[in-house]
Amino acid sequence: MRHHFWKWPIPVYLFLGGLGGGIFCLSAVLSLILFPGIEAVPTALAWPCFIGICCLGFGCLMLVADLGQPMVFYRAFVKSTSVLAWGARLLTVCMIFGLLWFVSYVPWDWFRPVADLFVFFRGLNLAIAGIAGTCIMLYTGIFLSTLKSHAFWATPALPVLFTISALSTACAAIALSIGWWPATTSIFTEAGVMNILASQECKHILHTVDVVLVVCEIVVLLVMVLSFLGAGNKTANKVAHKWVHGSYALAFWGGMIAVGLVLPELMYIFLDGTIASSVIAPVFVLFGGCLLRFMVVNSDERAPLPGENEYFNKVAKRDAEFVTKWTYGENIY
């Protein structure tokens, strides 16, 4: 018996949730800690945060779609002891306060009376969204690590790996989108010059941070996989073998390690200031982060329950004659 109960919406949900949470976490750090009082910085970060809101919203839709019963999605919020419930609440808090913060920067004249209502609460809204975003990054890894029957997931390294990956992909996403609408981009105005300078300074910091994060991600990922390769747990060992030199080897070494981590690291270090480091490398980082979630979720092997294999060995096969001979509605007696 081999069946993946979690389909593609779940890794998409984990990727987008971590990405959106990481965007708000880094935006809060840049705006409130590194550059407090410099209005050009949060203005330049408004569009990346809007992308973060969209990521969180679409991730929630993926989760609801995978539940199988979308009309009873509210149950994900009312189970107080469920890790999934806490994740849903954190996503909601981050989206609401992030949206309230973004609304205050919408520059349309007809919308200005509404935007002005939230200007005074900008710092508070971004702080709450940043805290919730940090918790979301941790939650995406904890969500899987609590499933103890899956040995490859039930490790403290997984929340650490997902958090580092979420921060790294958030750095990439912000670097690609910082300074867009609703910020002023014209170089012929003072606001436009300040926006360009703020965007460039934030990009430099984000690239430097991402260099460190990519190295940390490589180390944590290799330590986790290679430790399972020599582990006594047969299930985790089987998954590690599949990653290192099995059916997932090309995706692991070629897609995740080479394209998603090593190449961006080399571009960041040796091609700084070029289109390779400013565009191609962040795209590769986003690709590697998404691939990581898909590979981890699809590696859901678990140890069989006592008697489980014996039971399914005795169950009739789908092509057995007595199963295929009868058709629905036919009375052969």
CATH number at residue 211: 1.20.1630.10
- Please write the tens of the pLDDT for every residue from 47-96: 999 999 999 999 888 877 776 666 666 666 666 667 777 888 899 999 99
Other C-beta atoms lying within 10 Å of the C-beta of residue 90: 22
Q: Which long-range contacts (CB under 8 A, 24 or more apart) does 301-307 make?
A: 301/150, 301/152, 301/235, 301/238, 301/239, 302/149, 302/150, 302/151, 302/235, 303/149, 303/151, 303/234, 303/235
- Classify residue 330: in a domain, yes or no: no
- Classify residue 316: in a domain, yes or no: no
The DSSP code sequence of 35-88 is STT-THHHHHTHHHHHHHHHHHHHHHHHHHHHTS-GGGTTHHHH-TT-HHHHHH
- Please write the tens of the pLDDT for every residue from 247-278: 999 999 999 999 999 999 999 999 988 999 99
Contact 66, 118 (CB under 8 A): no
Contacting residues for 142 by C-beta, under 8 A, at least 6 apart: 83, 159
- Classify residue 332: in a domain, yes or no: no
- Classify residue 119: in a domain, yes or no: yes
Q: How far is CA 287 from the centre of its chain?
A: 11
- Please write the tens of the pLDDT for every residue from 87-127: 888 999 999 999 999 999 988 888 889 999 999 999 999 99
The b-or-e profile of 287-303 (16+ CB within 10 A means b, else e) is bbbbbbbbbbbbbbbee
- Classify residue 71: in a domain, yes or no: yes
Domain of 19, in residue numbers = 9-303
* Number of domains comprising the chain: 1
- Classify residue 29: in a domain, yes or no: yes
Q: Is 216 exposed, middle or buried (0-12, 13-18, 19+ CB in 10 A)?
A: middle
